[in-house]
Structure 1
């Protein structure tokens, strides 16, 4: 599996194809920037995994991945991260980067009532909510290709603490679950990635 980072601070993204640049020209300015650094991170992650890929265009909001490739992209605050690997070895991959806190009042959009205790004490609830949100985002990206349209949003996922991370599964789809790893970043950010649990 390969992991990579790209940033708007590097200048024009170099690890993108002409087809991806052409598609980016049809997007609003902010979306274009996120798309290009995301694709740059993705191509770097593909190379880090010892693989190759042509243009990675879009199916709606999701990347249209070449046959045999499993990958995930996230971006926040002008930084993009990606993971990639062969689909036969990594059938479910998800990654999420979050660099700014969420208001605690948004917890109901992320958590179901039985998960509310995961927020912990009020003084750390905002940072904890960001971690839970990021963990669910990474799990959603990994599980949605397996669960299909039945997985509609983050509240359709259940998180269970597991060491320093979480196990996550889709409600009503207990045949698949992912292990979510969590890395806290300086200035309160968080990076989460999800792999199918063996």
Structure 2
């Protein structure tokens, strides 16, 4: 897996790990950049109704999204939201993730990417939470407690988060949580799917950061 020696500044370093798939745009943003510039006025107005922490995450998320759209050769007016999901323009697939004041996004045309998912994690979940993320056999595969088990859980958690974001719009309420998703090792990541829907799967790419994990999911043909 790829790695780099420093994450300062993290958004700039993350470009080292960006997807290289044609047509798939990648963007980053950080609270450390100062006021987000790649956002629209309607997004700023909406953010003023939010608590400070949520406002910061929303703005850097939208900034990363607009940068990802631009990288994919696309653009959008204000991207508001429908429930918890971005209200994307027709013909667009995208996904956003944020962790510790840093946001990442992937975007592309829906004719090329039926669905997309991305996840950035800079804090590993405790091993005690494994049963909330993994199926029984997956949890058993972690082995004994220790740094190796914690790192495996960290990676599998992030991979499942990215897969969940990609699979959820396709499967709807049939996908209830991360435990429904099964991971199978594939190249530099996993194939992820839900056993009761074998015809639907995504390919998850994993990139190891010295202080975290970056994963993105695209349809598996």
Number of equivalent positions? 197
| Mapped contact 1:110–1:155 kept (Cα < 8 A) | yes
Over 3 Å off, 4+ runs: none
State the TM-score, normalizing by the size of structure 2: 0.87
Find the aligned partners of 1:105 and 1:111 in 2 and give their Cα distance. 11
Report which of the two has the higher share of strand: 1
Write the deviation string for residues 60-102 of structure 1: whole angstroms up to 9, x where unpaired. 1111111100000000011000000000100111000000111
Q: CA deviation at 1:121?
A: 4.5
Aligned position for 1:90: 113
Q: Does 1:143 align with 2:158?
A: no
Change (3 A) 1:118 1:164: farther
| Mapped contact 1:147–1:170 kept (Cα < 8 A) | no
Change (3 A) 1:44 1:173: same
Aligned position for 1:22: 45
Superposition pairs of residues 54-73 of structure 1, within 5 angstroms = 54-73=77-96
Deviates more, 1:103-112 or 1:148-157: 148-157
Task: Give unpaired runs (5+ residues) of structure 1.
Answer: none
Aligned position for 1:3: 26
Change (3 A) 1:159 1:26: same
| Mapped contact 1:25–1:32 kept (Cα < 8 A) | yes
SS of equivalent to 1:122:
coil
Find the aligned partners of 1:127 and 1:16 in 2 and give their Cα distance. 35
Q: Does 1:176 align with 2:200?
A: yes
1:155 to 179, 203, 217: 179
Q: CA deviation at 1:117?
A: 3.8
Deviates more, 1:70-79 or 1:144-153: 144-153
Find the aligned partners of 2:145 and 2:188 in 1 and give their Cα distance. 20
Q: CA deviation at 1:168?
A: 0.3
State the TM-score, normalizing by the size of structure 1: 0.96
Superposition pairs of residues 101-120 of structure 1, within 5 angstroms = 101-120=124-143
Aligned position for 2:5: none
2:76 to 27, 30, 53: 53
